[in-house]
Amino acid sequence: MTVTALIMAGKRSGVLDPLAARAGVAQKCVVPVGGKPMIEHVVEAVSACPQVGEIRIVAHEPDEIATIPVVAKLVDEGRLSFRPGAFNLVDSVFSGAEDAQFPLLITTADNCLVTPEGYSEFIEKALAEDAGAAAALARKEDVQAADPEGQSRFYQFSDGSYSNCNTYWIGSERALSAAEIMRSGGQFVKYPRRIAKAFGVINLVRFYLGWGSKEKLFAQVSRRFGFKLVPIVLSRGEYAVDVDNERTFEVTERLLAKRKAAAG
């Protein structure tokens, strides 16, 4: 099965990200990390994933991204195109998904540490689960083993603590409504009350008190949406580290340098 990949590379309207300001660029996704623009890491990983066919970058300012050589090459090959970013994340997903071939793999331009193997693992597990929609997670112990400063907050379930990997699956056009979960802005660990709006008050209580396994909570949410939502645990903790601030920028640079040294 061929998967369409959406790389979310938007920016907040009227706000210059602090990392972008420091680097002297117009948007965060082109801030150099490990020697190259952060979105270049993501494009290289996604394009090297054997299950991915078409790639779409959803961006408000594509010109700066389009000058990156690997991006320009994929555009020339007809494999990569740009879609306009919208006012918020959810409508940007809808924009990227318009007339796309499903299923969709959705990732973010700051996911510098996810490898082609990581995306393949996620896709294979989503297909094996026959998921209508899915979210990638990493175990707390795996994240902290990768780097003790990798994440500061985790989702707590009865079967353990997990971090979001900012990688999602939409199995069909019908399941695209799952994107509405992010309408309130996501970041549920920082803002648990948003769960009440996205998933319902009862699921907020279950989440906040750590009642039930992740599978049980996702099953409850599945009944609310009318299709199967699945939590997918990935094998490497660094996949949960995205470049969100100075701390995670430094963690990502450390892990990229470590990976490069290990590769010889």
Mean pLDDT to the nearest integer, 15-39? 93
- Strand pairing category for 160-170 and 155-157: antiparallel
Question: Token match 């700051």: residue?
Answer: 110
CB of 13 closer than 8 Å to CB of 87: yes
Query: With 50 as the cut, is the pLDDT of residue 259 above it?
Result: yes
The Cα 176–Cα 120 span in angstroms is 21
CB of 59 closer than 8 Å to CB of 29: yes
The pLDDT-based confidence of 14 (bands split at 50, 70, 90) is low
List, for residues 64-108, the tens digit of each pLDDT value.
999 999 999 999 999 999 999 988 878 888 999 999 999 999 999
Q: Report percent pLDDT > 90 for the chain.
A: 62
The Cα 164–Cα 137 span in angstroms is 5
Angle, alpha carbons 60-64-68 (nearest 5°): 125
Query: With 60 as the cut, is the pLDDT of residue 35 above it?
Result: yes
pTM of the model: 0.87
Q: How confident is the prediction for the chain on average, in pLDDT?
A: 86
Which one is predicted more confidently, 206 or 31? 31
Which one is predicted more confidently, 13 or 131? 131
CB of 31 closer than 8 Å to CB of 25: yes
Which one is predicted more confidently, 80 or 226? 80
List, for residues 114-159, the tens digit of each pLDDT value.
999 999 999 999 999 999 989 899 999 999 999 999 988 888 888 8
List, for residues 182-202, the tens digit of each pLDDT value.
555 444 444 444 444 444 444
Q: What pLDDT was estimated at residue 77? A: 97
Query: With 50 as the cut, is the pLDDT of residue 208 above it?
Result: no
Distance of CA 53 to the CA centre of its chain: 18
Structural Rg of the chain based on CA atoms: 18
**Domain spans in the chain, listed from the N-terminal domain onward:** 3-262
Query: With 80 as the cut, is the pLDDT of residue 205 above it?
Result: no
Q: What pLDDT was estimated at residue 98? A: 94
- Which of the following CATH numbers is that of domain 3-262: 2.10.10.90, 3.30.70.270, 3.90.550.10, 3.40.50.300? 3.90.550.10
Which one is predicted more confidently, 215 or 21? 21
The Cα 93–Cα 180 span in angstroms is 10
